[in-house]
Structure 1
């Protein structure tokens, strides 16, 4: 075997042997790129604005169209401060808090009631146009992640 090939094999073997030892101190550590993915998205210039239209929530006071403004908080949303805080918590780089359930997802066949919601506007500098229902386990979970932007329908 050629000396160069032997050197490559020895170095490869050494790298494989050392990899677990080098990785051990990093176990549980968050890499810089992971920190970026986990960091909240910076506030939008001019604030964020969402229009939320809810029907059949079971609470006539929550049904209808409400405006939510964040950064600074405003609008006529019944829980504006709580909704802005909750939205800030679920807003992350590379994750769309308004994304639909991916096609082909297996969802429990449960019914969460007739409530529907439509959210439009801008959040974290991006346009929003999303519809929410509660007609299976995935859609219920998607809705619940945005409470109190969307009303809690736990009583249904």
Structure 2
């Protein structure tokens, strides 16, 4: 009786499986059945976090648009592993790593240069569309917190 139930459950699971079109494996009582290998066309591509970083007016060959993939690290970014580590280190539950400077913040009037950046994409399952500049001390600190995602600049 148990064998009949096991075969029925195996058949039901196989029918609901995305590999249902794959050749069936016969269930033999007392023998462990192994599902067929996953074919390349059946694999689901799982992508990690993806960001596009555009930097302007940074000078020194640092301007450009870069793709960054994390988990695993890849892309055209000059330092994907370092950028992903920095983002992971700055990501906290309930806080937006890309949040703008809070309204009403008291910031030094220290100008950090003309560099600007825009970061778009997906991080930690959430959409990202953040703009960066170095127009005052708060903005420069916000930028520096994400180096090497954003290029290192010192005024």
Q: SS where residue 152 of structure 2 aligns? A: coil
Matches for 1:55-134 after TM superposition, within 5 Å: 55-60=56-61, 62-134=62-134
Q: Secondary structure at the match of 1:147?
A: coil
TM superposition score normalised by structure 2: 0.69
2:139 aligned with 1:135? no
Match of 2:149 in 1: 149
The CA deviation string for residues 87-138 of structure 1, in whole angstroms up to 9 with x for no partner, is 1100110111100011111100010000000000000000000000000000
Q: Which runs of 4+ in 1 moved over 3 A?
A: none
Query: What stretches of structure 2 of length at least 5 have no aligned partner?
Result: 1-45
Contact 1:86 1:146 in 2 (8 A): yes
Cα deviation digits, residues 24-76 of structure 1 (max 9, x gap) = xxxxxxxxxxxxxxxxxxxxx6300000000011222x211000000011110
User: Which TM-score applies when normalising by structure 1?
Assistant: 0.69
Higher-Rg structure is 2
What is aligned with 2:14? Answer: none
* Structure 1 spans left out of the alignment, 5+ residues: 1-44
Distance 1:119 1:101 in 2: 15
- State how far apart, in whole Å, the 2-side matches of 1:71 and 1:59 are: 29
Provide the secondary structure at the position in 1 that maps to 2:83.
helix
Number of residue equivalences: 110
Question: Secondary structure of 2:131's partner?
Answer: strand
Task: Give me the whole-angstrom Cα distance separating, in 1, the residues matched to 2:48 and 2:69.
Answer: 7
C-alpha distance in 1, partners of 2:60/2:126?
A: 30
Q: Would you tell me which structure has more helix in proportion to its own residues? A: 1
